[in-house]
Structure 1
Amino acid sequence: MNVEPLEETDSFTYLGSTINKNGGTEEDVKARIQKARVAFIMLRKIWRAKQIKTNTKLRIFNSRVKAVLLYGSETWRSIQKTLTRIQTFINKCLRRILHLKWTDKISNNYTLENDQATTHRK
């Protein structure tokens, strides 16, 4: 029987999540954001399509992109830095879906109904 010694490593991927020797979540969060970014980019034709309602685009975003982003997140430590990184990524995606520039200002009363009413008037 040939027995080879196990190689020691600082991190490895198991079931799509990065396991770190120190138990940190930083590498896993980075990898999840990158995978979600790829999923978001693959759907760019949908985000640009004017025939698809905003509500439908948001449902696609939640089911296809956020699902990839948050897979395994129940094992992450909830620290403010992690939560901020995730929320920043989500905000960037939503701005692209809604065709908003970073400098655009929207009141706190903005709703999807307002967006759809604007779309129908054009």
Structure 2
Amino acid sequence: MHCKFSEGQTGDREGVSLNGVALSQSNHFKYLGSVLQVDGGCEEDVSHRIKAGWLKWRRATGVLCDRKIPNKLKGKFYRTAIRSAMLYGSECWALKESYASKIRVAEMRMLRWMSGHTRLDKVRNESIREKVGVVPIEDKLREGRLRWFGHVKRRHTEAPVRQVEHIRLEDRKKKRGRPKLTWRRVVQHDLEALHIYEDLTQNRSEWKKRIHIADPKFLG
């Protein structure tokens, strides 16, 4: 995969071969459980994590869909085994609303089946979440991003700087349309939503307290 970091790059490069076999160029590939895209997006990775969550779900339907098992246990199992699989590597996603909606829809389908309800029952999503003790997955996505952001801000001054967004000279020119969504801009929106500032990252205990999203108490 060839990442084009500058508009001035032509993209024409000699092919890569291994033991005399030419490797074909790809727009995305999997690395350490995450899907990397040539444009730096996260759409492929989001779809991959949703599939991973459903795979975990299918393996545990005997527990999650059993009406004899308490909702408290089902919710705990979901948070531990399924939600964690769906959120793997999400700390670095520059997540668009359309991608977040896909994850939210997948989670609600799982929670409704866990609680024994369908959309025809007209039970509110909030009621189902309280019943199984699970907060909206977008809140946990935000918590993960801010937790990682805190680690980056507290890194040692001599530590290598890991760029989470690339600013090119060509990008400084005014272009038509909405600017490309970056991870840094998503984090800025998260900070504004929680009414906190970057300086708070140096106070680790307070930062952890402010960004943590606790799951609701169970209704039984």
TM-score range normalised by the length of the shorter chain:
0.7 to 0.9
Q: Choose the corresponding residue for 2:59, options 33, 42, 46.
A: 42
Q: Which moved more, 1:99-108 or 1:32-41?
A: 99-108
2:97 aligns with one of 65, 75, 80: 80
1:66 has 2:83 as partner = yes
Return the match for 1:106 from 95, 110, 123. Answer: 123
1:55 aligns with 2:72: yes
Counterpart Cα distance in 2 of 1:12 and 1:76? 16
Partner AA of 2:111 in structure 1: L
Give the match's secondary structure for 2:120. coil
Residue in structure 2 matched with residue 26 of structure 1 by the alignment: 43
1:42 and 1:107, CA in 2 relative to 1: closer, same or farther beyond 3 A? closer
For residue 46 of structure 2, what is the amino acid of its counterpart?
Answer: V
SS across alignment from 1:103: helix
Q: CA deviation at 1:49?
A: 2.2
From the two aligned structures, give the one with the greater helix fraction.
Answer: 1
Q: CA deviation at 1:101?
A: 1.1
Among 86, 103, 106, which residue is 1:89 paired with? 106
Identity %: 25
1:54 is displaced (CA, Å) by 0.3
Structure 2: gaps of 5 or more residues = 1-17, 132-217
Query: When the two structures are superposed, what TM-score results if normalisation uses the length of structure 1?
Result: 0.82
Question: 2: distance between equivalents of 1:3 and 1:45?
Answer: 48
Match of 1:120 in 2: none
* Matched residue SS, 2:35: strand
Q: SS state of the match for residue 67, structure 2? A: coil
| Partners of 1:9 and 1:23 in 2: CA distance | 13
Letter in 1 for 2:103: I
Deviation at 1:31, TM superposition (A): 0.7
1:108 to 1:82, Cα distance in 2 relative to 1, 3 A: closer
Please, which runs of 5 or more residues in structure 1 have no aligned partner?
117-122
Q: Determine the C-alpha separation between the residues in 2 that align with 1:109 and 1:73.
A: 24
- How many Å separate the matches in 2 of 1:22 and 1:57? 38
TM-score norm. by structure 2 comes to 0.47
CA RMSD of aligned residues (A): 2.2
Shift in Å, 1:6: 5.7
